[in-house]
């Protein structure tokens, strides 16, 4: 293990299983309280390689150095070589040095071929990075165009309506979100579905504002639960700044189309101020009802890609908590 700086640790030993190491760190963090400073420091750690097989990022200079290094005489620190002493040791070293010299001279054509291939790899890597940047720009423009054209979700039956007739009980992941809120908090509830979670906020005497993009849900919440709800379009997504210090969503993110989620998180990154706390949850499986008829999931979320996406938008202190009801609760800060 080589420590390059206080924030970046690179693992080059192929015998180290990085995945097991990360699981051990997460398990230890779960057994003791962690300060904000520790979380910020851990969020900046970068482990390489990312696979248990020991592959790491290609380094052209290091590869060329290893190729030219050739054979080195042993240091005779191994106990097996303790009987090789005096003139025999000197002769042994000279023979190895001579063999290394001859091998280098005899393999000059092979060396030139190697550097030719290495140069081609460097050029290909440069082209790959250019294509990657172009693709990211193209994808960003595609998403912008997508949610510009699709300003509403139609038909409305794809939206969740499973909470409309359920009892007013919270699932484990929803209880987890509620436990992180206090009566003095300033809360914005995004897409509260039919308002079951909003009733729990009222019972806990937590002041909040709610935002929904569905007319039917908006009418139901306003008539039966609270007036602190706004109906917005996908052009706005969020209310005008300043926004509350805590922004939550108890709805399953996977019930929303991908272009809505892209718009939502990019708007959160641009409209919120530093220190804002976010709590969202999602599940890629419809496992909340004992019924053969499950709600439609429009989007599948990759946990690792989701975390990387949030980091690119400037969010930090990203913590993923697995709940027993099959949901993942993601909390992070601006």
Listed by start position, the domains of the chain span 65-151, 172-333
What is the per-residue pLDDT for 170?
Answer: 83
Higher pLDDT, 110 or 223: 223
Cα 207–chain centre separation: 31
Residues contacting residue 189 through CB under 8 Å, at least 6 positions apart = 197, 198, 201, 208, 209, 210, 211, 248, 249, 250
Q: How confident is the model at residue 265 (pLDDT cuts 50, 70, 90)?
A: very high
Most confident of 16-20, 90-94, 163-167, 297-301: 297-301
Most confident of 69-73, 113-117, 311-315: 311-315
- Among residues 55, 45, 39, 34, the alpha carbon closest in space to that of 5 is found at 45
**Mean pLDDT, rounded, for 209-223:** 90
**Of the ranges 154-158, 173-177, 201-205, 302-306, which one carries the lowest mean pLDDT score?**
154-158
**Mean pLDDT, rounded, for 212-219:** 88
What is the per-residue pLDDT for 195?
Answer: 85
Higher pLDDT, 86 or 265: 265
**pLDDT per position as a tens digit, 238-255:** 998 889 999 999 989 998
CATH superfamily name and code, 172-333: Vaccinia Virus protein VP39 (3.40.50.150)
Buried b (16+ CB within 10 A) or exposed e, 64-88: eeeeeeeeeeeeeeeeeeeeeeeee
Cis peptide bond prior to 130, omega within 30° of 0: no
**pLDDT per position as a tens digit, 80-104:** 666 666 676 677 677 777 777 766 6
Residue 322 pLDDT greater than 50, yes or no:
yes
Residues contacting residue 110 through CB under 8 Å, at least 6 positions apart = none
**Mean pLDDT, rounded, for 15-21:** 68
C-alpha to C-alpha distance for 142 and 135, rounded to whole angstroms: 10
Residue 316 pLDDT greater than 80, yes or no:
yes
**Mean pLDDT, rounded, for 65-70:** 63
C-alpha to C-alpha distance for 120 and 212, rounded to whole angstroms: 53
What is the per-residue pLDDT for 5?
Answer: 46
C-alpha to C-alpha distance for 276 and 42, rounded to whole angstroms: 19
Q: SS3 for 59?
A: coil
C-alpha to C-alpha distance for 159 and 255, rounded to whole angstroms: 7
Q: How would DSSP label each residue in 15-49?
A: TS-HHHHHHHHHHHHHHS---HHHHHHHHT---S-
> What is the chain's length?
334
**Mean pLDDT, rounded, for 22-50:** 64
């Amino acid at each position: 293990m080589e420590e390059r700086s206080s924030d970046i640790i690179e693992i080059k030993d192929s015998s180290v299983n990085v995945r097991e190491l990360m699981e051990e760190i997460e398990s230890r963090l779960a057994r003791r309280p962690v300060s904000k400073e520790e979380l910020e420091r851990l969020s900046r750690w970068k482990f390489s390689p990312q696979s248990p097989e020991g592959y790491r990022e290609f380094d052209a200079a290091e590869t060329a150095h290893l190729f030219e290094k050739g054979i080195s005489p042993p240091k005779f620190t191994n106990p097996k070589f303790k009987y090789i002493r005096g003139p025999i040791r000197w002769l042994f070293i000279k023979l190895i040095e001579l063999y290394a010299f001859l091998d280098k001279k005899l393999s000059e054509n092979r060396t030139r071929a190697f550097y030719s291939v290495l140069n081609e790899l460097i050029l290909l890597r440069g082209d790959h990075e250019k294509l990657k940047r172009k693709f990211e720009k193209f994808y960003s423009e595609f998403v912008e165009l997508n949610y510009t054209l699709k300003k509403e979700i139609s038909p409305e039956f794809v939206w969740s309506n499973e909470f409309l007739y359920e009892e007013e009980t919270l699932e484990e992941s929803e209880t987890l979100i509620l436990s992180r809120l206090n009566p003095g908090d300033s809360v914005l509830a995004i897409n509260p579905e039919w308002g079951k979670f909003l009733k729990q906020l009222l019972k806990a005497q937590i002041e909040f504002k709610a935002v929904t993009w569905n007319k039917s849900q908006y009418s139901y919440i306003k008539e039966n639960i609270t007036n602190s709800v706004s109906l917005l379009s996908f052009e706005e997504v969020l209310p005008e700044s300043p926004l509350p210090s805590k922004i939550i969503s108890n709805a399953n993110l996977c019930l929303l189309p991908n272009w809505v989620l892209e718009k939502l998180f990019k708007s959160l990154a641009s409209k919120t101020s530093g220190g804002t706390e976010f709590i969202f949850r999602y599940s890629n499986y419809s496992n909340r009802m004992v019924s053969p008829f499950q709600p439609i999931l429009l989007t599948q979320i990759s946990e690792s890609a989701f975390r990387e996406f949030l980091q690119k938008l400037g969010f930090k202190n990203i913590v993923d908590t697995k709940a027993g009801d099959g949901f993942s609760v993601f909390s992070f800060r601006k």
